[in-house]
Structure 1
Amino acid sequence: MLFPILIVEASIGQILQDFAVIMIVASAMTLAFYKLKQPMVIGFIVAGIVIGPYSPPFSLIHNLEVLNLFAEMGVILLLFTVGMEFPIQKLKEVGRKAIVIASSEAFGTLAIGFIVAQSLGLGFYDSLFVALAISVTSTVIIMRVLGELKMMKDESATLILGTTIIEDILIISLLAIFQSTGASGEFSLNEIIISVGITIGFIAGVLVVGSKIIPKLIDIVARTNQHDVLIVAAVGLAFTLAFVSFQLGISVAAGAFFAGVLVAESRSHAVTSVLANPVKDIFAALFFVSVGALMDFSLIPQFIVPALILIGVSIGAKFMTVYLAARLQKLSNLTSTRAALGCSSSGGEIALVVAKGGIDVGAANPIILPMIGTMTIITTFIAPYVIKYGWKFTQKITKVQNKEDERSSQVQPSSPDETSNKPP
């Protein structure tokens, strides 16, 4: 219903012009950030800030509603492709340790972040969505950094990957619950129970019933060897489940994510993933550019201090919860410290999805979008350095400790007999 209305309000020429401006500026910015060896997501956000209505001297975008539409489509396709990386079998293989750590991190950081946000004077729902946003860890950024360091085979890297997989599912599920309660304006026990029940029922239905039907249908389509038909069917599934979740009053991100999980269960998921990547890249770019454009950075003086405090809280809470949860499960000090450093170093793209999700249902104040955006830019920028130098530091400490252990084992105390035989 939304798109025909937009066509009436904005001419085709304006829409085409806005789309052209977005793509040209985004390509220029991402090229610049590539040359600077910085994450592409920052380039997209900066491109949005440049073309947005809040950046002087004038806006390069004519219609913000079209921008919002691009952002919504970007969320659906971004989360769909994220879900395609997590087949059900992979979720089973991450193990009990990753589940315990992810749950401790997500709920621990959520609780601590909510208390701190409330103490900073944010409203109830603003605090809730901000706390959820700072609980997120960017799987993409962390895995890219670990790959560059050639540490992907390390035990802690496997643990981080499993933890972030489970964390993504928890955050998306909690977003669905918070959006449904926030949209109604009530946070009663009955409302929470109903929201949790609907969300769990939807996820269970998708994973139990959908996993027996959808992958087979995707494979039937794949047998035609018509790649265009396959990608249309896969993207159609993403939008269908996003629509179903929207009708149920939960996050469209949840529907799109679990649509990707179902596609990952098919035998042709590798081909589908390759075909979906260009589509995802385009709309992911649109999403991040749109988020950047919708950020009112003239409000920075109002939120910069709380944002910096919350960054510190996020890093500290994640590090503490991950480290303690890992140590309680008998993992070594080195593995626990590295996992804590990796999980605490960066926010990410889903944090922006969370912030925008709260605003879309009218539960959160629009000021949280530039606040979370600023925090995402800062943590994304520092993440590679935290992981790189943090892991090197832990490696040096471990080597020193090992040398000391070797020396102490080599120096054996003399036996009483040997001592008594020594000349005076």
Structure 2
Amino acid sequence: MNHTASVGTLFPQFFNPGSGPVDFIVQDFAVVMIVAAVMIAITYKLKQPMVIGYIVAGILIGPYTPPFSLVRDLSTINVLAELGIIMLLFVVGTEFPMAKLRSVGRISLVVALAETLGTLLIVFFIAQFLDFTFYDSLFLALALSITSTVVTVRILEELGMIKDRSSTLLLGITVVEDILAISILAVLQSVATSNGELSPLTIVISIGIVGAFVGGVLFLGSRYLPKVIDRAGRTNDYALLLIVILGFAFGLAFVAKGIGLSVATGAFLAGVLVAESNSVAVARILTLPLRDMFSAIFFISIGALMDIRLVPDYIVPATILIFASFGSKLMIVTGILLRAKIDNLTALRTGFGMSAAKGELSLVVVKGGQDVGAITSAILPILGVITIVTTFMAPYIIRFSSRIKLHESGDKPAEEEKPG
């Protein structure tokens, strides 16, 4: 960790205002925010997703980028990343009230289950063939089975496709996929921390722990917590409401961490419970600025923790894994929708949309594997490269799918739903 002091040596008067932990945190936080602001401006000008700018910003300030590190203490970056995960997943959870989860439809549930598990298995065996370790392969496979909801929705909005039938299907599938990903991550972390013993009993126990926690929180929490939130909301004291909401988010994240699960699981469930309250609209407005700030910190921290010196060694495996994930998701999603009598054009567009981008949850998965010591240092830079490449390519892939024309009677419903 000696490398983190090199900036102070170069600029002692400015970069060494103090030597205590608070000084380290203030300096590192300042660096993160300033570099993030610069990169947001650049990505905005280039019309690229902000997640790319954040990851590049993290790489620039991190300890693995010569000539020196701009951050003094990597533990600070890790703490900031943990806060980022909690806020990011909490706000994602507020988009998923239980009524919405019940309404996504059987076709979305079937497609999400099939394509998530199918892609996971295909990518896992390919990663094993490429000589990744067992747990590296598992966490990589889960990360690559997730579509970035945030990136995909933004692209669909920009292209005027958000009201298409394919987009409605895509959003329903991603709802289920996100919940599956968080649940599988919790199981993988639980299994990975059980002294490396991977047996049917271990897996059953891990699934039982996750199921009991999720079921208990949703069953008991939905009866009482929304009422507490509404009581705070009726006071019209936004500070009180915000503190109550954050108390739930960090409290459930703490409980999840305490039983060996990811903080992401607890934070997401807290968001679902807040979504059950009548104050959810105000809660979302209050927490969105916090989400934006801490999610920026999370993506920057991912970039800072990447050892980019390893990237050249893994360009070929990363390329193979991108094609494996893209191909498997495209074939599985399109194939199931065609069998369900969805018209060819809608099925194809949905398949392309589900295959295009990796992003926020994929990075959460790999960070979760790193937190429990289950994966090697190579996985984070590999997924960073995959995220940047797929996020950059996603607009072109989805735009290509929007221009596909299939002249047959079965395609008319999809054509009619194009926005005028």
| TM-score normalised by the chain length of structure 2 | 0.92
| 3-state DSSP of counterpart to 2:358 | coil
* Whole-angstrom distance in 2 between the partners of 1:222 and 1:162: 30
Which one of the candidate residues 110, 123, 135 is aligned to 2:120?
110
| Structure 2 counterpart of 1:222 | 233
CA shift in 2, pair 1:69/1:325, >3 Å: same
- How far did residue 401 of structure 1 move? 4.2
- Aligned to 1:246, the other structure's residue is in SS state helix
Q: Flag the 1:326–1:402 CA change in 2: closer, same or farther, 3 A.
A: closer
Q: Write the deviation string for residues 337-362 of structure 1: whole angstroms up to 9, x where unpaired.
A: 01100000111111111111111101
Query: Structure 1 pair 18/111, CA: closer, same or farther in 2 (3 Å)?
Result: same
Task: Measure how far apart 1:402 and its partner are.
Answer: 6.0
Q: How far apart, CA to CA, are the structure 2 residues paired with 1:284 and 1:373?
A: 15
Question: What is the one-letter code of the residue matched to 2:200?
Answer: L
Q: Which residue of 1 aligns with 2:59?
A: 49
Quote the residue 2:81 is aligned against. Answer: 71
1:90 aligns with 2:106: no
Please give the alpha-carbon distance, in whole angstroms, between the structure 1 residues aligned to 2:143 and 2:19: 33
Is the aligned partner of 1:99 residue 2:109? Answer: yes
Q: 2:390: which partner in 1?
A: 379
Please tell me the root mean square deviation across aligned C-alpha atoms, in Å. 1.6
Name the residue aligned to 1:313: 324
Offset at residue 302 of structure 1 (A)? 1.8
Greater radius of gyration (CA)? 1
| Amino acid in structure 1 at the alignment position of 2:63 | P
Residues 170, 350 of structure 2: 8 Å contact kept: yes
Q: Paired residue for 1:338, among 349, 353, 356?
A: 349
- For residues 305-336 of structure 1, the C-alpha deviation after alignment (integer angstroms, 9 at most, x for no partner) is 10010000010011011111111211111111
Aligned equivalent of 2:338 = 327
SS in structure 2 of the partner of residue 347 of structure 1: coil
Count of matched residue pairs? 394
Aligned counterpart, 1:188: 199
How far is 1:235 from its partner?
1.1
Moved more, 158-167 or 10-19: 10-19
> Which amino acid counterpart does residue 199 of structure 1 have in structure 2?
V
Superposed counterparts of 1:160-175, under 5 Å: 160-175=170-185
In the superposition, relative to structure 1, how do residues 326 and 403 fare at CA in structure 2: closer, same or farther (>3 Å)?
closer
Q: Return the alpha-carbon distance in structure 2 between the equivalents of residues 347 and 264 of structure 1.
A: 25
In the alignment, what sits opposite 2:9? none
Can you give the 5+ residue segments of structure 2 that lack an aligned partner in the other structure?
A: 1-17, 413-420
State the AA in 1 paired with 2:45: K
Which of 178, 195, 198 aligns to 2:209? It is 198
Residue 219 (structure 1) shift: 0.3
Distance 1:124 1:404 in 2: 43
CA contact (8 A) 1:10 1:63 kept: no
Give CA-to-partner distance per residue, 1:365-401, whole Å, 9 cap, x none: 1210111111001000100110012221x2xx22x44
Match of 1:156 in 2: 166
1:16 to 26, 34, 38: 26
**What does residue 280 of structure 1 align with?**
291
Partner AA of 2:101 in structure 1: L
CA 1:292–1:404 in 2, change beyond 3 Å: closer, same or farther?
Answer: closer
2:144 corresponds to which letter in structure 1?
I
Q: CA deviation at 1:251?
A: 1.3
Answering whether residue 41 of structure 2 is matched by residue 31 of structure 1, we say yes
Q: CA deviation at 1:279?
A: 0.7
Q: 2:250 aligns with which of 236, 239, 244?
A: 239
